[in-house]
Amino acid sequence: MNAPILSSLKINLPTNSGKLEPFVLSEPRAYPDRAKAAFNRIAFSAAHVVADARAANDPWIDCSVDWDKTMAYRAYLWDLGMGVAEAMDTAQRGMGLDWPTSLELIGRAVQAGRAWEAGNGRPALISCGCGTDHLDPASVRSIDQVIRGYEEQMAAIEKAGGRLIVMASRALARIAKSPADYERVYDRVLGQAREPVIIHWLGEMFDPALAGYWGNADHMQAMQTAVGIINAHAAKVDGVKISLLDKDKEIVMRRQLAKGVRMYTGDDFNYAELIAGDDKGYSDALLGIFDAIAPAASAALAALSAGERKTFDAILEPTVPLSRHIFKSPTRFYKTGVVFMAYLNGLQDHFVMVGGQQSARSVVHLAELFRLADRAGLLRKPDLARSRMQAVLAVYGIT
């Protein structure tokens, strides 16, 4: 059912042809501000960071974070029943967010989670990205250096009280000569983890430097190496997140995982059907798009938990075109759309990003995002969203 339009709220938006077309906003869908019960799926939102727009820095070089707004956003996600996947690529890890700032982010978020738990009486689920991004891939000469890089971050995150998401390593992708090198690294890393970890297979569409991960450019061949490593260490693996934007590959891998090892979908194109699952299983979720559509995701997961599959589908179906637009190629620039959604919805006061990444998408891309977000009922205050869209258009000389 289409949402009723707000005839008084119009805006002229640019199109691919270079022209301006009028667009009339719709009433937003009403979603609860808080989850009322636990879901029957684990749902992590990879959370973005809010930049400090007033910092006297060089945005392409320095990393300045508005810690209060960033922590408030995590509380917003916990309120909605989401877990927080911290310091991941959605937080611009490796694209503006350096390791020292990532570690501070992790420490602050773990503490914020504990405070949220104390005030709400239920767990604030959080897991934290652990990688080797403090190493210069070009200077790494041995597998032992990669292992030590992982060990350094593991120790720091565990000391801060965080559980681990073992992220893919650019240094390992560059230096590894065979699947055996991956087996050696992950054997050491998993053998030392205090608690079961989530392994993250990030595809080259998200990060070109990770092409050929697991020792093979063919995803199906690479999958066999990954599954072998995971199942050999099943007691140390909570689950695996794959971000290949291919639902069939995810389902194939999901069916090969050892009992008790979860598949966390990272498919921002096909998440609805993968989470719903089939007669042979389902995927839990660890998604960047859940940052942008958190209220809808929360409501849909509540419906699924109540056995209301049709409601689940009806809520998420209109979010899929929005997600596919945000994550369109070059996919690595999806963070711009995620932050733009937070800005439009008043969850932060500006559209400035770490590393100046607000410039990574065109004004035409942002205009289409605005249209799709409206059609999905996700512009929760249409008048505010319109005024903020107009402010961005004015920067581009569109008034």
Structure-token pair, residue 318: 């209109």
pLDDT of residue 327: 97
Domains of the chain, CATH where assigned:
39-317 (3.20.20.70)
Q: Burial code of 110-131, b = ≥16 C-beta within 10 A, e = fewer?
A: bebbeebeeeeeeebbbbbbbb
The residue with tokens 């991960």 is 213
Q: In the chain, which residues have pLDDT < 70? A: 1-3, 5-7
* Alpha-carbon separation of residue 193 from 45, 130, 170, 183, 294 (angstroms): 23, 11, 21, 16, 30
Per-residue pLDDT tens digits for 38-71: 999 999 999 999 999 999 999 888 899 999 999 9
* Alpha-carbon separation of residue 33 from 44, 189, 291, 337, 380 (angstroms): 17, 39, 14, 22, 11
pLDDT of residue 399: 85
Residue type, 118: A
Q: SS3 of 57, please?
A: coil
pTM: 0.96
Distance of alpha carbon 199 from alpha carbon 185, whole angstroms:
13
Per-residue pLDDT tens digits for 93-149: 999 999 999 999 999 999 999 999 999 999 999 999 999 999 999 999 999 999 999
Q: Are the beta carbons of 251 and 230 closer than 8 angstroms?
A: no
Structure-token pair, residue 143: 């597998």
Please give the DSSP secondary-structure letter assigned to residue 353: -
Closest by CA to 283, choosing from 36, 40, 46, is 40
